[in-house]
Structure 1
Amino acid sequence: MEDETSPTIGSDWAGSSKRGKSIEECEVMIRRSLRNPQVKVLIEQMEKSGCRVGDNFIRAVVCTTPHGGAFQKGRGITICSNHIAIQDEVNQVIKHELIHAYDECRAKNLEWLNCAHHACSEIRANHLSGDCHLKRELLRGFLRIKGHEQECIRRRVMKSMRANPECTEAASKDAMEAIWDICYNDTKPFDRAP
């Protein structure tokens, strides 16, 4: 039974892959991701902040929802093997979800049902994970060159906020705009946006 106060915060990478991987194949890809420099920094910083990242913190599962993965407080990160096809997708989803986990760890009082808290973590996850790099946007069919990153982040934040039962579209947009500068410029645990 899921804790209603800690919703699953999902990464909408799914949809780029028509084929998925088995759980075993995905687990191998997860182990490879753990060698990624950004992933290593995020895990090290969580551990330094007192949040244990055990062997089962990131795990492969078969998902019924159209997500590449998700973070849930107290449960860790799940990677949807049936929606992941290549290593780069696993790396991206893990980085995105680890930023949510890091935010949960460092904030100690983060309330996922609070529109501003949720929007802030989504801004950070989309910005710091590289979800909105030009290459990824072009692959998604978004051809705008100038200003693409912030437009992408705003679009993806709003898409993620739709899953929050406490946040209407208007409340989500207002929250995102109110905290944009603070959250976009917060690059912790990195010195700057990767």
Structure 2
Amino acid sequence: MAHEPSSPGGLLGVKTVEEVQAMIHKSFELPKVKLLRQRMAEAGCPVKDKFFKAVVCHGRSGAGFFSPGQGMFVCSNHATFQDEVNQLIRAGRLSGDCHFMRELLRGHFKLRGHEQDCIRRRVLLSLFSNPSCVGSIAKDSMEDVWDICYNDTQPFDKAP
């Protein structure tokens, strides 16, 4: 994966790095994002604006990813709408990214249990993008912490 500060080349719907960086900064104004960042700072883990970076991603299919020690990267060649950027800044369970209508638009038609299936699928996609998580290590790791992580809605009283 390479990070380039340039535009992906005028493809329909594709944003430049600069445009996506502006979208990231717009996300910082959302009440839920403000609350999450405030609570993280209160817990001794402040998240500065520079933690989030817009880049051109090669060899990745998602709209963004986290890299330990480097920060959160938003792929300008995959994130085309403000709402996509907004969802990336919050975790899968709390972001609404696995809301029924979003899943329906992705072609997933399950009525019962769709949210947990979606979150599991997206967590695994994220883990598989890490070269250290090969084979069953990713799935086993997710299953080991599933109940604790899925039920943790902090800093919210319940999942939004």
CA drift of 1:62 comes to 1.5
In the other structure, the counterpart of 1:127 is 93
CA drift of 1:43 comes to 0.9
Unaligned runs of 5+ in 2: 1-10
Alpha-carbon separation, structure 2, partners of 1:23 and 1:164 = 23
Alpha-carbon separation, structure 2, partners of 1:73 and 1:174 = 20
Alpha-carbon separation, structure 2, partners of 1:139 and 1:18 = 20
**CA RMSD of the aligned region, Å?**
2.1
Q: Quick one: structure 1 residues 18 and 173, their matched pair in 2 at CA, closer, same or farther if it must change by over 3 Å?
A: farther
CA drift of 1:171 comes to 3.5
Alignment of 1:14-93 (within 5 A): 19-64=13-58, 65-93=60-88
Secondary structure of 2:72's aligned partner? strand
CA drift of 1:156 comes to 1.9
Q: Deviations over 1:149-190 (max 9, x none)?
A: 111112222222223444444333333333322221111222
8 Å CA contact retained: 2:65, 2:126? no
Alpha-carbon separation, structure 2, partners of 1:154 and 1:18 = 31
Identity, in percent, stands at 53
Q: Does 1:176 align with 2:142?
A: yes
CA drift of 1:94 comes to 1.7
Alignment of 1:146-157 (within 5 A): 146-157=112-123
Alpha-carbon separation, structure 2, partners of 1:28 and 1:187 = 28
8 Å CA contact retained: 1:128, 1:187? yes
The one-letter code of the counterpart of 2:23 is M
Alpha-carbon separation, structure 2, partners of 1:167 and 1:159 = 10
Alpha-carbon separation, structure 2, partners of 1:63 and 1:38 = 27
Unaligned runs of 5+ in 1: 1-16, 96-124
Q: Quick one: structure 1 residues 71 and 168, their matched pair in 2 at CA, closer, same or farther if it must change by over 3 Å?
A: closer
8 Å CA contact retained: 1:158, 1:169? no
Alignment of 1:103-122 (within 5 A): none
Alpha-carbon separation, structure 1, partners of 2:49 and 2:148 = 33
TM-score (norm 2): 0.81
Secondary structure of 2:66's aligned partner? strand
Secondary structure of 1:59's aligned partner? strand
Secondary structure of 2:74's aligned partner? strand
Q: Quick one: structure 1 residues 191 and 29, their matched pair in 2 at CA, closer, same or farther if it must change by over 3 Å?
A: same
Q: Deviations over 1:105-137 (max 9, x none)?
A: xxxxxxxxxxxxxxxxxxxx3212222111110
Higher RCO (CA < 8 A, seq sep 6+): 1
Alpha-carbon separation, structure 2, partners of 1:175 and 1:83 = 27
Q: Deviations over 1:70-122 (max 9, x none)?
A: 22233222211121111111101122xxxxxxxxxxxxxxxxxxxxxxxxxxx
